[in-house]
C-alpha cells in the first residue's frame, strides 16, 4: 500500500483485515485482564505455540493421506488446520489449569517443546519453512472473509461463556480457596477460562500472527488495569484501548506502508506509556 492510495475510498481492500484485527483485539484485551491478574502471561504464549503444532500436524496428515489416496480429497475438510489447533490448545488448557502444577514451569516447558516440535515437524512438510511459518502465524493484511467469520465465531463463544461464568471466574481467580470452600467448582471454572483463552488465541494467531495476538492480549489489559478503579472500568478501558490500537495501528500501517501487526503493538504500547506518564505526573 502506498501513501497515494486513499484509505477511506478503498475500504473494500482493508475491511476484512480491519474486522479481524478489531474483533480479535477487543476480545483478547478482555481475556488479557484475566491473564494479567492471574499472572499467567506465559500461558497465551504456550497456547499459541501448541496451536501451531496442531496446524503443522494437520498439514502432515493432509500430505500423507493425499500421497496414498489422492481421490479422498473431499474427506480432508476434517483435517482443516484450525480444528487441530483448537483441539491441541484446548487439551493443553486442561493441563495448564491444574492447581499446584508447579507455577510457570510446566507452561514454559510446554512453550519450548511446542515451539521446537512445530519447527521440526514443519521440516517434514512439503511446504517451504517460510510458508509454514506464514501459515502458522498469519498476516493480518492478508485476512479473508473466512477468517472474519472464524474470529467472530470464536469471539462470540468466548463472550457468551464469560457472560455466564464471569462471577465464578472472578471468585475462583481472586480467592480460589474460599471459592472452593463455598462449594464452587474452581478447577472446572479454571478449565473453562483457559479454554476460552485457547479458542480465541488459536483463531487470532492464525488470522493475524502470534506477535500481534500476544501483544494485544497483554498491552491493552495493562492500560485498563493501570487506569481503572473497578473491574468494569478496567475491562471497558482495555477493550477500548485494544480496538483503538487495532484501528489506528492498521491505519498507520496502510498510510505509511509499515507492518500492520507491529504498528498495532506500538500504538498499544504508546497508550500504555501515556497512562504511566500521566500517573507519574499525578503523583
Partner 1 sequence: MTEPLIELRHVVIGYDRPLIKPISIRIEKGDFWGVVGPNGAGKSTLVKTLMRLIRPLAGRIHIPNRRLKFGYVPQRHALNPDYPLSVFDVTIMGRYDRIALGRRPSAKDQIRVIEELHRVGMSTGRQRPFNSLSGGEKQRVLLARALVSDPDVLVLDEPTEGVDLVGESEILNFLSKLHTEHKKTILMIGHHMSEVISIVDHLCLINRHTDLFETGSTKELLDEEHLSRVFGKPIEIDSCEQRSHMHIKDLGDV
- Contacts with partner 1 by CB under 8 A lie at 36-37, 39, 100, 163-165, 167-168, 170-171, 173-175, 177-184, 225, 228-231, 233-234
Convert 154-176 into a string of H (helix), E (strand) and C (coil): HHHHHHHHHHHHHHHHHHHHHCH
Name every residue whose Cβ is closer than 8 Å to that of residue 243 and which is 6 or more positions away in sequence.
22, 25, 26, 29
In the numeric block, which cell numbers belong to residue 157?
463463544
Q: Which is nearer to partner 1, 9 or 163 (CB)?
A: 163
Residue 152 or 173 with smaller CB distance to partner 1: 173
C-alpha–C-alpha distance, residues 254 and 272, integer Å: 23
The CB-of-182 to partner 1 minimum distance in angstroms stands at 5
Smallest gap from Cβ 124 to partner 1, in A, equals 40
- If the CB atoms of residues 189 and 206 are measured against partner 1, the closer one turns out to be 189
Nearer to partner 1, 77 or 163 (CB): 163
The C-alpha cell of 268 is what? Answer: 498499544
Nearest to 238, CA basis, from 14, 18, 37, 19: 37
Shortest spacing between CB 90 and partner 1, in angstroms: 21
Minimum gap (Å) between residue 45 Cβ and partner 1: 20
The set of residues, in sequence order, having a beta carbon less than 8 Å from that of 99 and lying 6+ positions away, is 176, 186, 187, 190
State whether residue 244 is helix, strand or coil: helix
**Least distance in Å: CB of 234 to partner 1?**
5
Tell me how far, at minimum, the Cβ of 36 lies from partner 1, in Å: 8
Looking at the Cβ atoms of 3 and 175, the one nearer to partner 1 is 175
Cell of 221: 489489559
Question: Do residues 250 and 216 touch, judged by C-beta distance below 8 A?
Answer: no
Place of cell 455466564: 164
**Other CB atoms within 10 Å distance of the CB of residue 258:** 14
* Cβ distance to partner 1 smaller for residue 67 or 163: 163
* Distances 16 to 37, 177, 203, 234 between C-alpha atoms, Å: 32, 44, 15, 28
Choice between 171 and 251, CB closer to partner 1: 171
Min CB(196)–partner 1 separation in Å: 15
Amino acid at each position: 500500500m502506498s501513501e497515494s492510495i486513499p484509505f477511506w475510498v478503498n475500504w473494500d481492500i482493508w475491511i476484512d483485515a480491519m474486522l479481524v484485527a478489531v474483533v480479535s483485539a477487543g476480545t483478547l484485551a478482555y481475556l488479557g485482564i484475566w491473564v494479567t491478574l492471574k499472572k499467567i502471561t506465559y500461558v497465551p504464549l504456550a497456547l499459541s505455540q501448541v496451536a501451531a503444532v496442531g496446524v503443522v500436524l494437520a498439514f502432515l496428515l493432509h500430505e500423507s493421506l493425499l500421497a496414498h489416496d489422492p481421490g479422498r480429497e473431499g474427506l480432508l475438510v476434517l483435517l482443516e488446520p484450525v480444528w487441530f489447533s483448537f483441539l491441541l490448545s484446548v487439551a493443553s488448557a486442561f493441563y495448564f489449569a491444574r492447581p499446584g502444577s508447579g507455577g510457570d514451569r510446566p507452561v514454559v516447558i510446554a512453550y519450548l517443546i511446542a515451539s521446537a516440535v512445530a519447527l521440526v515437524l514443519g521440516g517434514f512438510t512439503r511446504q517451504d519453512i517460510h510458508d509454514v511459518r506464514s501459515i502458522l502465524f498469519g498476516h493480518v493484511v492478508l485476512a479473508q472473509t473466512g477468517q472474519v467469520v472464524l474470529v467472530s465465531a470464536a469471539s462470540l463463544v468466548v463472550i457468551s461463556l464469560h457472560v455466564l461464568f464471569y462471577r465464578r471466574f472472578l471468585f475462583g481467580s481472586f480467592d480460589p480457596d474460599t471459592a472452593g470452600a463455598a462449594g464452587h467448582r474452581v478447577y472446572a471454572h479454571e478449565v473453562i477460562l483457559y479454554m476460552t483463552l485457547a479458542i480465541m488465541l488459536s483463531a487470532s494467531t492464525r488470522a493475524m500472527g502470534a506477535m500481534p495476538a500476544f501483544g494485544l492480549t497483554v498491552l491493552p489489559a495493562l492500560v485498563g488495569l493501570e487506569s481503572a478503579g473497578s473491574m468494569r472500568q478496567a475491562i471497558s478501558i482495555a477493550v477500548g484501548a485494544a480496538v483503538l490500537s487495532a484501528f489506528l495501528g492498521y491505519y498507520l500501517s496502510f498510510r505509511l506502508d509499515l507492518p500492520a501487526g507491529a504498528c498495532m503493538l506500538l500504538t498499544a504500547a504508546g497508550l500504555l506509556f501515556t497512562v504511566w506518564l500521566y500517573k507519574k505526573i499525578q503523583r
